[in-house]
Amino acid sequence: MTEIRVQNLCKTYGDHVVLHNLSFTAGVGVTRILGRSGAGKTTLLRILLGLDQPDSGSLFGTNCRWAAVFQEDRLLGHLDAEDNLRFALGSAYNAAAAKTLLGELGLADVGSKPICEYSGGMKRRLSLLRALLVPFDLLILDEPFNGLDSENRKKAAALVRNRAQDKILLFAAHTKEDAALLGAEILCPFDSYCSVQISRSKGN
């Protein structure tokens, strides 16, 4: 899989236009979706994953293996980190790989604690780790570094870059700081009806 394409995508909720004739191509590397809160970033990602339907427009290349991190962590609070990963990944769970990544994200010493005792940043790191352990061709991240301090943002971004090499990575954010962490730069805004911007990594 080398790219996904979006052509003339439109989506409204009642009288509110969320996406209007949105078109772009995302190839291997980082494609960043920039927009203020409520601009339609999450709606776009949900459409790409088949979790929502557009009013009109076409999608190409989205029928593939994907992994995602949503704004909600969606963890099971009564289970520990490893059991959360085991439950979510099923037969794809690899204990050795999980232990390694838990260490890289600073969660090795708390892996046996129930998630309900985790801080918000710890939950976020585990949610990210869960997605990175899934075999994928397309990785979608919605505000992936929310709640992380500067050091952990850098660690998480480095891990994402490493695990997503030679893959298509789409990530949504409303601030510009995360773009530098993943090597993306803003290329151009879309039309006045759509306050979403698309940026690509410098290597693409």
**Token pair belonging to 64:** 């593939």
Domain range for 32 is 1-65+136-204
User: Does 187 score more than 50 pLDDT?
Assistant: no
Render pLDDT for 93-139 as a digit per residue (tens, 0 to 9).
Answer: 999 999 999 999 999 888 688 999 999 999 999 999 999 999 999 99
Cβ–Cβ under 8 Å, residues 137 and 67: no
Q: Are residues 61 and 79 in the same domain?
A: no
Contacts of 93 by beta carbon, 8 Å cutoff, 6+ apart: 85, 86, 133
Q: What CATH number does the domain containing 189 carry? A: 3.40.50.300
Per-residue pLDDT of 54-101, as tens digits, reads: 999 999 998 899 999 998 999 999 999 999 999 999 998 999 999 999
Distance of CA 75 to the CA centre of its chain: 16
In a domain, 70, yes or no: no
Same domain for 61 and 140: yes
Percent of the chain with pLDDT over 70: 87
Considering its fold, how many domains does the chain have in total? 2
Task: Judge whether 91 and 126 are in contact, CB under 8 Å.
Answer: no
pLDDT grade, residue 39 (50/70/90)? confident
- Which of residues 115, 133, 151 is at a domain's end? 133
- Answer whether residue 33 is part of any domain: yes
DSSP letter for each residue of the chain: --EEEEEEEEEEETTEEEEEEEEEEEESEEEEEE--TTSSHHHHHHHHTTSS--SEEEEES-SS-EEEE-SS----TTSBHHHHHHHHHGGG--HHHHHHHHHHTT-GGGTTSBGGGS-HHHHHHHHHHHHHTS--SEEEEESTTTT--HHHHHHHHHHHHHHTTTSEEEEEESSSHHHHHHTEEEEEE--TT---EEEEETT-
32-51 mean pLDDT: 86
Other C-beta atoms within 10 Å of 69: how many?
24
What was the pLDDT predicted at 201? 60
pLDDT band for 181, please (50, 70, 90 cuts). Answer: confident
Mean pLDDT value across the chain = 85
Which amino acid belongs to residue 89? L
* Same structural domain, 144 and 199: yes
What percentage of the chain reaches a pLDDT higher than 90? 56
Q: Indicate whether 120 and 94 sit together in one domain.
A: yes
